[in-house]
């Protein structure tokens, strides 16, 4: 019998740990000059170094070091005066050298933190997620499993390997354990990854596309009975490829652990794979027996010793911190806290900002994205960003409304059309024949018709009871199929009834 | 600790991905008793106050600029492959899990 | 002509007395006649060599300015990648592999128009001191075909002593250039670590490996040294500094006022009497030439061998992990239903020889959690102590000297079942690799008891490689005037059978 989330948090305290892997957006790979462009033909971006041909040697990409230092600085880390690469030895066909060049006990950035704010029952609350280390390593190749039922590894007859991705620079950001989040663990996990993504995006060091794998999150979760000091056994969930999944995975693992613990069973220390469809995790490799990676200093590379001058140069290049940036926008746009939070939670702040930069009024931009467009996305069960509508489209539509060339109602039709793939706003307007009725004679006919149909209402307006005009305007708009400009209709109607 | 059992050698062979016959494991284990005794001498002078040297030269901060250089052609990349298909290296089924 | 030095050949080429094609053909003929006895070569690139030779001849005919060794043939140790030419490292696991790229050493040889005759035999992945560990059979010492030519670069050294090539490239991780030079009566130099690029040198132990020149004279060795040395952006451990002036040093051979330090610990017990006699004689000759002989002590050298047999296997266990049957080389057991892991295990069982497996297992152990500090970590500390010993010694002497190895060439098969006895061969050469300094071996004569060549080792501080060339050239000149002819004039005739 399945537990509810409330049952879990009534009894247990969750402890989080998050490991995020970020692919840097350098032009060339971590240790060789091969291109890093996504989606190239298989094995066209490989060389003796990234194929691990006998005799080849790695040389560190300077930009990757700079990007990593910038990440460290942005996450409030100390930059180590001495750091080194190490070999992590294990065999796997997608890893050509059968060791990964990584960092072990001498990472480049240590001891930072990220503050996140989430909505709690008591209002917005700040949580500090401490960052243990930020280190550099390299990505692996990609395998295509052939002969199995689903292209998955199990049941496959053989595999095909493409090493284009092998050697792309990766940065791993590891948090310390995060206790004290209580029932908000899933939200904190999500907010942390979102904040991290925003920071990385603002730094311009990565594409941070979770769906393409340029930002990957492993969520470690353990439970302990409330009041108990000793940590419980953790599971490590991989494959968590969206912000929403981070939240779902943490929540799901909390419930799974609690069910095991309540039954008196043991949580197995293992890797688990998140399954997007079910929201559940599937058991992977057991970590009960620690892998022996036989780390040792990479003899083909020399230590990294960034001097203070270099670090300060990089610090000077840091952009505004996203949290500061948000505060500034909130002030500039005069947005209430709640609306601001809604935008952030919906992950639409950057989209709204882009629309505002294109000339839209902030309130209008916000109401389109969070209102109509979000509603459609919801209906279609996709994220707003997957819809075929861009900040440019919305800015154009807002401008047309401001100029009186579209009414709000017509604008909604245009938005619908753009999302339906009918083209840019201008194309939708012309194809659908959408236009504002501002031919006064056509409007006068409708006005006269409405007054004739509702003589008592017309009389009230004539006698100065202006609120009654609403009913007439409604009828007129209906008559003109919403294509009339409501303001013009009101003007003409009042003048017709002697109130202008 | 200066000898290794047959099982310990078997575990090392597994880590190193080398199939070994029982006979080979046993003979290596006995050789290691002699070899480990000889190499364990390093412990006589390796006191805590001696810093380790992992590299003979005191080089630091050797980097390359982030510039792309030509890759191999896929034909060259695959030229040594025991098997290939669809411009990819063909390898036997991978047990275990997605990395 | 094939018995001349490389510089004599170079000047004959420059004078138009012979073409590179003819000179290359003479060496190919020599190889054809004697290599079935010596087995110095694993692959002979007749076509490539003649093509390169004719290109040099064409350049020379056009009056182009050529490098000092242009057109002279060379034997390349099979551990360096050469585009399109089989590169096996003496291992079954790489049988048939043709690299799609050139190592930096090969690129430099080509740029200098040095003609590459083929690839020479070696202990598998450079692990050994006798070339008996080659998967393709041992190389025989031209001085006595029943004896080993040293290792791992036995093929390169034997090719010089057998007059199959006047120049060769070796690599030296613990003595693999110097010990073969010593037992074959040739000259071999391990440059300062980082002096010659390791790009394309198939790694055995990355922090110890160094490619270097081999020849029959000190000057030839220096000329080849300058051709292959220099900074390489593809090797992060390459030194970004001017190449030491080794050719000038070899030409002058001046040791007046130089202090030569005899390392107390690298002599005495365990060194063959004939080896010690030739060493003492060489010291006298150097003193006569104006050098001051002093004694220095390096107390931690006695731990060098132990540290070496932890560091080198540890690094090799990781370096050789890439030979896994997935992307290149041998694949065994790829039958229906076999997994990648099974294929890796079987391929590595069949593809690696016993010594390679022994070292991989030893290295895997030394790096494994729980043992790292006791073994690999301690060995790294010993490395520090050895470097400190050298630093102290070099305050008392400009160069250090010792016999290159304790004995002359032993019989093939004599030590192959006793790894520890085999490892002792490298006792005097290993400290140099541990500290990354330069080391040279040159012939100091024949041991009285067996008539086999003895090597004299000269060690110079980091990037002071020119010093060992000065001392080497001085000793070579003194010995030559004493003997009246080069030592290799005494090597028995080979190739009686055609």
pLDDT one-digit tens code per residue, A208-221:
988 888 999 999 99
Cα gap C25→C49, rounded to integer Å: 9
Q: Tell me which residues of chain C, numbers 185 to 214, contact chain B at a CB-CB cutoff of 8 Å.
A: 193-194, 207-208
Contact (CB<8Å) B71/A46: yes
Instruction: Name the residue of chain C whose CA is nearest to B62's CA.
Output: C236
Indicate if ipTM > 0.85.
yes
Contact (CB<8Å) A59/B62: yes
Highest mean pLDDT: which range of A345-359, A463-477, C456-470: C456-470
Band (pLDDT 50/70/90 cuts) for residue A444 is confident
C245 touches chain A (CB under 8 A): no
C315 alpha carbon, distance to own chain's centre: 19
- Radius of gyration over every alpha carbon of chain A, rounded to an integer in angstroms: 29
**How many Å lie between the alpha carbon of B79 and the closest alpha carbon of chain A?**
11
Q: How far is CA C169 from CA A183, A424, B38, C58, C213, in A?
A: 68, 68, 32, 25, 5
Please tell me which residue in C159, C176, C197, C470 is annotated as part of the active site. C176
A97 touches chain C (CB under 8 A): yes
Cα gap A120→A187, rounded to integer Å: 9
Task: Return the pLDDT at C10.
Answer: 98
Contact (CB<8Å) A89/C89: no
Pick from B97, B88, B17: nearest CA to A155: B97
Cα gap A302→B62, rounded to integer Å: 7
Task: Provide, as residue numbers in chain B, all residues whose Cβ is less than 8 Å from the Cβ of A46.
Answer: 71-72, 74, 77
Give alpha helix (H) positions in C214-353: 218-228, 246-252, 273-288, 304-319, 340-351
B91 alpha carbon, distance to own chain's centre: 20
Mean pLDDT of C280-301: 98
Instruction: Name the residue of chain A whose CA is nearest to C194's CA.
Output: A300
Q: What is the largest CA-CA distance in chain A?
A: 97
Task: Provide, as residue numbers in chain A, all residues whose Cβ is less than 8 Å from the Cβ of C321.
Answer: 89, 91, 97-99
Instruction: Name the residue of chain A whose CA is nearest to C100's CA.
Output: A48
Contact (CB<8Å) A28/B69: yes
Cα gap C479→C442, rounded to integer Å: 11
Contact C79, C126 (CB under 8 A): yes
C418 touches chain B (CB under 8 A): no
Q: How many residues does chain A have?
A: 500
Task: Provide, as residue numbers in chain A, all residues whose Cβ is less than 8 Å from the Cβ of B66.
Answer: 26-28, 61-64
Task: Return the pLDDT at B96.
Answer: 65
Task: Return the pLDDT at C497.
Answer: 41
**Is residue B99 pLDDT above 60, yes or no?**
no
Q: Tell me which residues of chain A, numbers 155 to 174, contact chain B at a CB-CB cutoff of 8 Å.
A: 156-163
Q: How far is CA A335 from CA A198, A202, C6, C301, C400, in A?
A: 20, 22, 84, 75, 79
What is the share, in percent, of chain C residues with pLDDT greater than 70?
99
Contact A302, B59 (CB under 8 A): yes
Number of domains in chain B: 1
Mean pLDDT of A403-412: 85
C256-294 burial code (b ≥16 CB/10 A, e <16): eebbbbbbebbbeeebbebbbbbbebbbebbeebebeee
Contact (CB<8Å) A61/B63: yes
Pick from A213, A250, A284, A174: nearest CA to A23: A213
The answer, as to whether pTM is greater than 0.80, is yes
- Closest by Cβ to C367, choosing from A52, A91, A296: A296
Task: Provide, as residue numbers in chain A, all residues whose Cβ is less than 8 Å from the Cβ of C99.
Answer: 48, 53-55
Pick from C178, C206, C177, C204: nearest CA to C194: C206
Cα gap C483→C487, rounded to integer Å: 8
Q: Tell me which residues of chain A, numbers 340 to 399, contact chain B at a CB-CB cutoff of 8 Å.
A: none
Residue B39 main-chain phi, psi, to 5 deg: -75, -20
Cα gap C327→B80, rounded to integer Å: 7
Task: Return the pLDDT at A149.
Answer: 60
- Count of CB atoms situated within 10 Å of the CB of A82: 11
Mean pLDDT of B32-44: 93
- Closest by Cβ to C324, choosing from B17, B51, B76: B17
**How many Å lie between the alpha carbon of B62 and the closest alpha carbon of chain C?**
6
Task: Return the pLDDT at C495.
Answer: 66
Pick from C459, C470, C471, C437: nearest CA to C195: C437
Domain housing B37: 6-44
**Is residue B94 pLDDT above 50, yes or no?**
yes
Cα gap B1→C373, rounded to integer Å: 13
> What DSSP element (H or E) covers B62?
none
Instruction: Name the residue of chain C whose CA is nearest to A162's CA.
Output: C327
**Is residue A230 pLDDT above 80, yes or no?**
yes
Which sequence spans correspond to the domains of chain A?
5-314, 320-432, 440-496
Indicate the SS3 state at residue C374.
Answer: helix
Contact C88, C136 (CB under 8 A): yes
Q: List B90's β-bridge partners, or say none.
A: A160
Lowest-pLDDT choice from A334-348, A437-451, C423-437: A437-451
Indicate the SS3 state at residue C105.
Answer: helix
C97 touches chain B (CB under 8 A): yes
Band (pLDDT 50/70/90 cuts) for residue A288 is low
Q: Please state, rounded to an integer, the average pLDDT across all residues of chain C.
A: 96
Please tell me which residue in C152, C197, C205, C470 is annotated as part of the active site. C152
How many interchain CB pairs under 8 A, A with C?
103
**Is residue A99 pLDDT above 60, yes or no?**
yes
Task: Provide, as residue numbers in chain B, all residues whose Cβ is less than 8 Å from the Cβ of A93.
Answer: 91, 94
Contact C321, A294 (CB under 8 A): no
**How many Å lie between the alpha carbon of C338 and the closest alpha carbon of chain B?**
7
Task: Return the pLDDT at A345.
Answer: 78
Mean pLDDT of C374-396: 97
**Is residue A322 pLDDT above 90, yes or no?**
no
Pick from A282, A214, A200: nearest CA to A39: A214
Q: List C454's β-bridge partners, or say none.
A: C445
Contact C463, C195 (CB under 8 A): yes
Strand C167-171 vs strand C211-215: parallel, antiparallel, or unpaired?
antiparallel
Contact (CB<8Å) C100/B92: no
Mean pLDDT of A75-94: 96
- Closest by Cβ to C239, choosing from B39, B57, B80: B57
Cα gap C63→C3, rounded to integer Å: 27
Contact (CB<8Å) B16/C360: yes
Indicate the SS3 state at residue C167.
Answer: strand
Task: Provide, as residue numbers in chain A, all residues whose Cβ is less than 8 Å from the Cβ of B72.
Answer: 46-48, 51
A87 touches chain C (CB under 8 A): yes
**How many Å lie between the alpha carbon of C128 and the closest alpha carbon of chain B?**
15
> Is C176 a known active-site residue?
yes
- Count of CB atoms situated within 10 Å of the CB of A421: 10
3-state SS, A143-203, equals: EEEECCCCCCCCCCCEEEEECCCCCCEEEEEEECCECCCHHHHHHHHHHHHHHHHHHHHHH
Contact (CB<8Å) C378/B72: no
**How many Å lie between the alpha carbon of A56 and the closest alpha carbon of chain B?**
13
Residue B82 within any structural domain of the chain: no
Contact (CB<8Å) B61/A302: yes
Task: Provide, as residue numbers in chain A, all residues whose Cβ is less than 8 Å from the Cβ of B18.
Answer: none
Indicate the SS3 state at residue C134.
Answer: coil
Q: List C439's β-bridge partners, or say none.
A: C190, C459
| Distance between start and end Cα atoms, chain A | 71
Best to test chain B binding among A54, A169, A302 (most B CBs inside 10 Å): A302
> Is C282 a known active-site residue?
no
Instruction: Name the residue of chain A whose CA is nearest to C203's CA.
Output: A55
Contact (CB<8Å) B97/A34: no
Cβ neighbourhood burial of B11 (10 Å; 0-12, 13-18, 19+): middle
Instruction: Name the residue of chain B whose CA is nearest to A99's CA.
Output: B16
Instruction: Name the residue of chain B whose CA is nearest to A45's CA.
Output: B71
pLDDT in tens, A19-42: 999 999 999 999 999 999 999 999
pLDDT in tens, A140-158: 999 998 886 655 666 778 9
Task: Return the pLDDT at C245.
Answer: 98
C345 touches chain B (CB under 8 A): yes
Strand A169-175 vs strand A270-274: parallel, antiparallel, or unpaired?
unpaired
Contact A476, A450 (CB under 8 A): yes
Please tell me which residue in C77, C119, C190, C415 is annotated as part of the active site. C77
Mean pLDDT of C366-394: 96
Q: List A172's β-bridge partners, or say none.
A: A21, A135
Pick from A69, A158, A166, A53: nearest CA to A108: A69
> Is C369 a known active-site residue?
no
Indicate the SS3 state at residue C154.
Answer: helix
Task: Provide, as residue numbers in chain B, all residues whose Cβ is less than 8 Å from the Cβ of A48.
Answer: 72
DSSP strands (E only) in chain B = 63-64, 84-85, 88-92
Q: What is the CATH number of domain A440-496?
A: 1.10.10.410
Mean pLDDT of A385-412: 89
Task: Return the pLDDT at C498.
Answer: 36
Q: How far is CA A369 from CA A198, A327, A365, C85, in A?
A: 19, 20, 6, 63
Mean pLDDT of A96-117: 96
Q: What is the CATH number of domain C6-301+383-490?
A: 3.90.1300.10
- Closest by Cβ to A140, choosing from B54, B68, B99: B99
Q: How far is CA C443 from CA A158, C216, C440, in A?
A: 56, 9, 10
Cβ neighbourhood burial of C2 (10 Å; 0-12, 13-18, 19+): middle
Pick from A217, A213, A272: nearest CA to A245: A217
């Amino acid at each position: 019998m399945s537990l509810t989330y409330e049952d879990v948090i009534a009894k247990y305290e969750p402890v989080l740990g998050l490991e995020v892997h970020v692919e840097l957006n350098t032009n060339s790979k971590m240790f060789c000059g091969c291109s890093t462009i996504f989606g190239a033909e298989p094995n066209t971006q490989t060389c003796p170094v990234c194929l691990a041909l006998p005799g080849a040697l790695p040389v560190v990409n300077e930009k990757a070091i700079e990007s990593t230092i910038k990440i460290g600085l942005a996450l409030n880390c100390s930059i180590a005066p001495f750091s080194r690469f190490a070999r992590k030895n294990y065999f796997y066909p997608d890893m050509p050298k059968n060791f990964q060049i990584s960092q072990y006990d001498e990472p480049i950035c240590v001891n930072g933190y990220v503050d996140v704010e989430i909505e709690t029952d008591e209002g917005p609350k700040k949580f500090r997620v401490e960052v243990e280390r930020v280190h550099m390593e390299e990505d692996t190749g990609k395998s295509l499993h052939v002969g199995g039922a689903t292209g998955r590894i199990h049941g496959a007859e053989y595999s095909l390997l493409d090493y284009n991705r092998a050697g792309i620079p990766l940065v791993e950001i590891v948090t310390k354990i995060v206790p004290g989040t209580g029932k908000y663990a899933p939200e904190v996990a999500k907010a942390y990854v979102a904040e991290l993504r925003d920071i990385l995006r603002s730094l311009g060091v990565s594409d941070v596309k979770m769906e393409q794998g340029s930002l990957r999150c492993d969520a470690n979760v353990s439970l302990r009975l409330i009041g108990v000091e000793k940590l419980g056994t953790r599971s490590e969930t991989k494959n968590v490829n969206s912000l929403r999944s981070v939240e779902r995975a943490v929540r799901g693992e909390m419930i799974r652990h609690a069910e095991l613990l309540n039954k008196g069973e043991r949580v197995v220390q293992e890797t688990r794979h998140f399954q997007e469809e079910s929201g559940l995790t599937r058991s992977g490799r057991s970590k009960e027996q620690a892998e022996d990676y036989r780390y040792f200093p990479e003899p083909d590379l020399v230590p990294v010793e960034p001097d203070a001058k270099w670090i300060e140069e990089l610090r000077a290049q840091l952009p505004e911190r996203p949290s500061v940036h948000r505060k500034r926008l909130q002030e500039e746009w005069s947005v209430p806290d709640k609306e601001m939070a809604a935008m952030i939670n919906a992950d639409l702040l950057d989209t709204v900002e882009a629309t505002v930069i294109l000339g839209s009024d902030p309130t209008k931009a916000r109401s389109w994205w969070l209102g109509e467009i979000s509603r459609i996305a919801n209906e279609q069960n996709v994220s707003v960003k997957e819809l075929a509508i861009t900040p440019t489209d919305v800015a154009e539509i807002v401008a047309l409304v401001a100029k009186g060339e579209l009414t709000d109602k017509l604008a909604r039709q245009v938005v619908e059309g753009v999302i339906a793939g009918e083209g840019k706003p201008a194309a939708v307007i012309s194809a659908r024949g959408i236009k504002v009725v501002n031919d006064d004679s056509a409007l006068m006919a409708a006005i006269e018709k409405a007054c004739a149909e509702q003589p008592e209402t017309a009389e009230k307006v004539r006698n100065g009871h202006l609120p009654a005009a609403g009913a007439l305007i409604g009828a007129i708009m209906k008559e003109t199929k919403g294509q009339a400009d409501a303001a013009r209709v009101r003007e003409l109607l009042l003048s017709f009834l002697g109130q202008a | 600790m200066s000898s290794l059992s047959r099982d310990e050698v078997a575990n090392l062979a597994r880590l190193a991905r080398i199939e070994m016959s029982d006979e080979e494991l046993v003979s290596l284990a006995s050789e290691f008793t002699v070899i480990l005794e000889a190499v364990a001498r390093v412990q006589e002078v390796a006191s805590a106050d001696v810093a380790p040297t992992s590299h003979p030269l005191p080089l630091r901060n050797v980097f390359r600029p982030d510039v792309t250089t030509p890759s191999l052609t896929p034909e060259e990349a695959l030229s040594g492959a025991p098997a290939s298909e669809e411009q990819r290296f063909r390898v036997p089924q991978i047990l275990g899990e997605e990395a | 002509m094939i018995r001349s030095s490389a510089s004599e050949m170079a000047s004959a080429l420059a004078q138009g007395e012979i073409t590179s094609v003819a000179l290359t053909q003479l060496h190919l003929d020599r190889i054809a006649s004697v290599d079935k006895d010596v087995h110095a070569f694993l692959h002979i690139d007749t076509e490539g060599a003649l093509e390169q030779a004719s290109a040099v001849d064409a350049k020379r005919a056009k009056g182009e300015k050529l490098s000092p060794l242009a057109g002279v043939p060379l034997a390349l140790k099979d551990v360096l990648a050469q585009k399109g030419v089989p590169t096996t490292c003496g291992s079954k696991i790489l049988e048939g592999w043709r690299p799609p790229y050139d190592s930096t050493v090969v690129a430099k040889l080509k740029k200098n128009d040095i003609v590459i005759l083929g690839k020479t035999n070696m202990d598998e992945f450079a692990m050994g001191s006798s070339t008996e560990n080659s998967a393709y059979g041992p190389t025989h010492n031209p001085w006595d075909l029943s004896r080993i030519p040293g290792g791992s670069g036995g093929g390169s050294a034997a090719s010089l002593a057998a007059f199959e090539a006047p120049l060769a490239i070796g690599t030296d991780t613990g003595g693999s250039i110097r010990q073969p030079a010593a037992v074959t009566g040739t000259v071999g130099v391990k440059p300062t670590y980082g002096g010659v690029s390791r790009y394309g040198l198939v790694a055995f132990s990355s922090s110890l490996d160094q490619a270097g020149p081999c020849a029959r004279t000190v000057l030839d060795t220096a000329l080849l040294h300058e051709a292959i040395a220099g900074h390489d952006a593809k090797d992060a451990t390459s030194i970004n500094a001017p190449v030491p002036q080794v050719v000038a040093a070899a030409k002058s051979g001046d040791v007046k006022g130089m202090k030569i330090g005899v390392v107390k610990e690298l002599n005495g017990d365990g060194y063959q009497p004939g080896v010690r006699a030739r060493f003492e004689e060489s010291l006298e000759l150097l003193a006569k030439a104006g050098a001051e002989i002093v004694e220095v002590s390096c107390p931690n050298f006695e731990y060098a061998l132990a540290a070496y047999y932890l560091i080198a296997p540890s690094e090799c266990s990781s370096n050789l992990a890439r030979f896994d049957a997935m992307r290149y080389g041998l694949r065994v057991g790829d039958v229906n239903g076999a997994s990648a892991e099974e294929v890796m295990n079987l391929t590595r069982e069949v593809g690696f020889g016993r010594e390679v497996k022994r070292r991989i297992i030893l290295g895997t152990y030394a790096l494994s959690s729980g043992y790292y500090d006791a073994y690999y970590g301690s060995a790294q500390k010993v490395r520090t102590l050895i470097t400190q010993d050298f630093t102290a010694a070099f305050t008392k002497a400009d160069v250090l000297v010792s016999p290159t190895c304790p004995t002359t060439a032993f019989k093939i098969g004599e030590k192959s079942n006793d790894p520890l006895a085999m490892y002792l061969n490298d006792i005097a050469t290993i400290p140099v690799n541990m500290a990354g300094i330069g080391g040279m071996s040159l012939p100091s004569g024949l041991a009285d008891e067996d008539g086999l060549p003895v090597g004299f080792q000269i060690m110079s501080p980091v990037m002071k490689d020119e010093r060992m060339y000065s001392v080497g050239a001085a000793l070579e000149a003194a010995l030559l005037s004493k003997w009246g002819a080069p030592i290799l004039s005494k090597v028995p005739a080979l190739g009686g059978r055609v």
